[in-house]
Amino acid sequence: MVGILRRLEEAGHETWCVGGAIRDALLGDPQQDMDLATSARPEEVRQLFRRTIAVGIEHGTVGVFDELGVLHEVTTFRRDVTTDGRHAEVEFGLSLEEDLARRDLTINAIAYHPLHRTWRDPFGGRDDLHHGLVRAVGDPASRFREDRLRILRAIRFAARLNFRIDAATWSAACAQASDTANLSAERVRDEWSKSIRTTRSLDRLVGQWLESGVAAVWLPELLPSASWQRSGGPDVVLITALVCSACGPVMRRFRGSNAEIRRAEAIDRGPARPQSGAPVEVRRWMAVVGEATSDLVTLATWRGLREDGWIREVAGVTARGEATSRGELAVNGDDLRTAGVAAGPAIGRALEQLLDAVLEEPALNTREQLLALARSVV
């Protein structure tokens, strides 16, 4: 990375390390990939290096590979121009100072020059890191008016780093929370999923979405914090299901994939658990919830219901290979037709009856017994 920076500097372009990697390095969590801010224009950057890719050329960002093959983002100094609160619109700027001034939070607006070993930290980002404080760069109300996503970003970094949010920043966030309605669902969804992936505490994250008023706009299903005492995790659907009264509508609102929406709706449909831990009840429940079984078990575990015998029984049913769906029966529709069941809806009804019998008594799930049973019921 220093090689890339040196090359740019030797070509006469002022270049600094900036952004998240500097923040994380100062917190003792060095990152492989570094963001560089430079006075060079994107086409000049591309001419200087052999291996580049146009990561976000319209935003002035060129990806450059270092000698180890790690990709670093090199972005031309930018400054904010008029914005509508939905996107921060930027144009090329003239100086590092301008570039730092258009960043969202002081802890994200620190620059380091590894050749000169100097810092540029005009907004006191290092002090805020030291004190565990999330604070907007400049006047928080104006910064949020430029781009409302910054409200969600402030909450995300506070949750991830376990930092407090500065009082003026917080009141501006609360005052403008309802204006986040203008953001695109995609941007909000990305923030929500990054937040639940990285938060140290779900309680804290959920609490701030609720208190700020952002939840009222984007996540009315969010439940008041219920002491989940867990950190975040990578499964957006499951964690959303944990902290919301319903996650299907959330996945729809956030334009999730069809698979995500289907999965979320199956979780919502439930029932969340069998009526009891009796094996037959557990098998009947598994037949009803189908593919949602393991999600519902995970959720129950996260909610601290581990002591419930039914969770162990689900594992037992699976381990013993007991059938809980038509597909696991020892006969299929073709077998039934051959055995004399009339083609058409009668086949489906017969399979349903066979499954019902097998749920009650798993030992019945052999070809001979099921064919005999089929003949007797039709």
Residues that bind ligand ATP (CB under 6 A): 19-20, 88, 103-104, 108-109, 147, 149-150
- Sign of CA pseudo-dihedral 224, 129, 85, 173: positive
Report the 10 Å Cβ neighbour count for 29: 10
Rounded least distance, CB 173 to Mg ion, Å: 21
Of Mg ion, ligand ATP, none, which one sits near residue 104, judging by CB under 5 to 8 A according to partner kind? Answer: ligand ATP
CB of 250 to ligand ATP, least distance (A): 21
Q: Which does 108 bind (CB under 5 to 8 A by kind): Mg ion, ligand ATP, none?
A: ligand ATP
- State the burial class of residue 316 (Cβ atoms within 10 Å of its Cβ: 0-12, 13-18, 19+): middle
The stretch among 17-25, 64-72, 141-149, 213-221 that binds Mg ion (CB under 5 A) is 17-25
Smallest gap from Cβ 198 to ligand ATP, in A, equals 7
20 binds Mg ion (CB under 5 A): yes
Q: Does 138 help bind Mg ion (rule: CB under 5 A)? A: no
Q: Select from ligand ATP, Mg ion, none the partner in contact with residue 191, using the beta carbon and a kind-dependent cut-off of 5 to 8 Å.
A: none
Q: Whose Cβ is closer to ligand ATP: residue 149's or residue 296's?
A: 149
CA distances from residue 232 to 200, 302, 349 in whole angstroms, order as listed: 6, 12, 44
Stretch that binds Mg ion, among 16-24, 100-108, 123-131, 238-246 (CB under 5 A): 16-24
- The encoded tokens of residue 308 equal 């419930």
Of 61 and 365, CB closest to Mg ion: 61
Which C-beta is closer to Mg ion: that of 20 or that of 316? 20
Select from ligand ATP, Mg ion, none the partner in contact with residue 78, using the beta carbon and a kind-dependent cut-off of 5 to 8 Å: none
What's the closest the beta carbon of residue 109 comes to ligand ATP, in angstroms?
Answer: 6
- Rounded CA-CA distance 242/25 in Å is 32
Q: Which one, 53 or 342, has the nearer CB to Mg ion? A: 53
What string of DSSP letters covers 185-236? HHHHHHHHHHHHHH-S-HHHHHHHHHHHTHHHHH-TTBPPP--------S-H
Nearer to ligand ATP, 156 or 273 (CB): 156
Task: Please choose which of ligand ATP, Mg ion, none residue 99 contacts, taking the beta carbon within 5 to 8 angstroms, the exact cut-off set by kind.
Answer: none
Distance (Å, whole) CA 110 – CA 176: 26
Is position 277 an interface residue for Mg ion (rule: CB under 5 A)? Answer: no
Closest CB to Mg ion: residue number? 20
**Around Cβ 15, how many Cβ atoms within 10 Å?**
25
Nearer of residues 19 and 248 to ligand ATP, judged by Cβ: 19
Strands 164-165 and 52-56, how do they pair?
Answer: unpaired
State how beta strands 78-80 and 61-65 pair: unpaired
Q: Nearer Cβ to ligand ATP, position 29 or 360? A: 29
Dihedral of the CA atoms 212, 222, 300, 253 (nearest 10)? -130
DSSP state of 321: T
Dihedral, CA atoms, 168, 171, 172, 173, nearest 10 degrees?
A: 120
Shortest distance in whole angstroms from residue 33 CB to Mg ion: 8
Residue 174, token pair as written in the block: 């609360």
Other CB atoms within 10 A of residue 245 CB: 12
197 contacts Mg ion (rule: CB under 5 A): no
Which neighbouring-strand residues pair with 92?
A: 78
Q: Which residues contact 14 (CB under 8 A, 6 or more apart)?
A: 38, 39, 96
Min separation Cβ 215 and ligand ATP, Å: 20
Least gap, CB of 191 to ligand ATP (angstroms): 9
Choices 20-28, 115-123, 276-284, 348-356 (CB under 5 A): range interacting with Mg ion: 20-28
120 binds, among ligand ATP, Mg ion, none (CB under 5 to 8 A by kind): none
Residue closest to ligand ATP (Cβ): 20
List of residues contacting Mg ion (CB under 5 A)? 20
